[in-house]
Amino acid sequence: MDTVAVRLTALRRRHGPLTALDGVDLEVRAGIFVAVMGPSGSGKSTLLQCAAGLDRPTSGTVEVGGTELTGLSERRLTLLRRERIGFVFQAFNLLPSLSAAQNIALPLRLAGRRPSRTEIRGALARVGLADRAAHRPGELSGGQQQRVALARALVSRPAVLFGDEPTGALDTGTSRQVLGLLRGLVDQEGQTTVMVTHDPVAASYADRVVFLVDGRITSELRAPGAGAVAERMAALESTTGGDGGRGAGGDRAAGGDRAARVGSDQEHGR
């Protein structure tokens, strides 16, 4: 039987008069890789932050790994985030003075656990960095730093891994490596993953791509190729003017030329 790893019901998030999420319903089955796309300002980060317990919705409910988040106290929510939820950001957010191994150990230490060497080595090995344990972030490439961040997010064996544009700061080749790694974690370990991305090629690594417009999920594609995703995005952006028509934070309304670039990019043939 399928289990639901994430369930969002009638999710709304307002900032004063602005509605960032306007009634989102979404179920993510365990062991599935979902990409979230949409024009800049459409609410993707807000959706992810609410789903990961980093932000509180104005109304509606969030369930992760069978636990309803919305009623939890701050303390319980923090514990649940540490134990059940992994999060990677576009900026890797590693502590520069700590080694890769120490960065990975940090969330467990914060949870009052003393991680074993085997556990940390295992986490590094899962992201292909077994030989970089002692390196500091400044001694690692961008892709390697993101892989350390990924190992840190995965070390607690979270029910769900969330990524907000995790490949947004990486070049094409490095980005594909990280995406291949994410895909492998889903396929080999059943790691439920929800990733926001602007890149149709990145989205094509997912099993499902959901499209957000003006704080609502308007459509979705199942296991699409990059071309189909780029086409859908171009269509959305031509109807919304590239910024959800709301003018807020739209400095990256780059969907058009992104789609054009991706048009010639080969699908990765997973």
Ligand X SMILES: Nc1ncnc2c1ncn2[C@@H]1O[C@H](COP(=O)(O)OP(=O)(O)OP(=O)(O)O)[C@@H](O)[C@H]1O
Q: Give alpha helix (H) positions in the chain.
A: 44-51, 74-84, 100-110, 117-126, 142-154, 172-189, 200-203, 226-240, 255-263
Site string (222-261) toward ligand X, x via CB under 6 A: ------------------------x-xx--x---------
Nearest to 212 by CA among 37, 69, 81: 37
Candidate residues 6, 24, 28, 40; the one interacting with ligand X per rule CB under 6 A: 40
Comparison of 132 and 243: residue with beta carbon closer to ligand X: 243
Examine residue 167 and tell whether it contacts ligand X (CB under 6 A): no
Residue nearest to Mg ion (CB): 45
Candidate residues 37, 44, 133, 153; the one interacting with ligand X per rule CB under 6 A: 44
Report DSSP state, residue 110: H
Nearest to 6 by CA among 86, 59, 68, 57: 68
Examine residue 166 and tell whether it contacts ligand X (CB under 6 A): no
Nearest to 156 by CA among 90, 63, 56, 87: 87
Comparison of 45 and 146: residue with beta carbon closer to Mg ion: 45
CA distance 137 to 112: 24
Comparison of 99 and 197: residue with beta carbon closer to Mg ion: 197
Comparison of 40 and 145: residue with beta carbon closer to Mg ion: 40
Comparison of 81 and 246: residue with beta carbon closer to ligand X: 246
18-77: contacts with Mg ion (CB under 5 A): 45
Structure tokens belonging to residue 266: 């080969």
Nearest to 27 by CA among 216, 194, 153: 194
Pick one of ligand X, Mg ion, none as the site partner of residue 42 (Cβ within 5 to 8 A by kind). Answer: ligand X
What stretch of H or E contains 8? Answer: strand 4-15
Summarize as ranges the residues that interact with ligand X (CB under 6 A): 15, 18, 20, 38, 40-46, 246, 248-249, 252
Q: Which residues bind Mg ion (CB under 5 A)?
A: 45
